[in-house]
Amino acid sequence: MQPENFGPGILYSICNGQKPLNINVEKQFSHVIPSPDLINRYAELRPTDGESASKMFITEYNMQLEKFVEQVLYAASQDNKSPQEILPFNEGDTLCSWERSQFTNYRKILAPYLEKLGYEVVLN
């Protein structure tokens, strides 16, 4: 959430909900946002069983991202393009979410999937 960690490109939100007031997010990339159902189930379970909530979230979010990668790779192969040619991201863009580090932070979960698609990922 520190602007000094942002790249010089476009800021994409990868979450729903409110963002910090001092951050100007230009776009949202909904394809990698956890579903509202998953977020709600995680939020309900976390206060009573944080470990189970985290495991459930990670498992289901990984399934969502695997499906996303498959769809991107399929679309790229159909168009005879690379994933980078069909996704909107450019060098220097930043994907932002606002979870606190003590909760399940899905930026770390998303990073390897973007790397599978050929992106260099820097986590902050």
Residue 83 lies in a domain: yes
- Write out pLDDT tens, residues 96-121: 887 665 555 688 899 999 999 999 99
Residue 123 lies in a domain: no
Mind spelling out the 3-state secondary structure of the chain?
CCHHHCCCCCEEECCCCCCCCCCCCCEECHHHCCCHHHHHHHHHHCCCCHHHHHHHHHHHHHHHHHHHHHHHHHHHHHCCCCHHHHCCCCCCCEEECCCCCCCCCCHHHHHHHHHHCCCCCCCC
Residue 71 lies in a domain: yes
Q: What is the mean pLDDT of residues 75-95?
A: 95
The pLDDT score that the predictor gives to residue 104 is: 55
Residue 121 lies in a domain: no
- Write out pLDDT tens, residues 35-62: 999 999 999 999 999 899 989 999 999 9
Range of the domain at 39: 7-116
Residue 57 lies in a domain: yes
In the chain, the number of structural domains is 1
In the chain, % of residues over pLDDT 90: 61
Residue 124 lies in a domain: no
Residue 2 lies in a domain: no
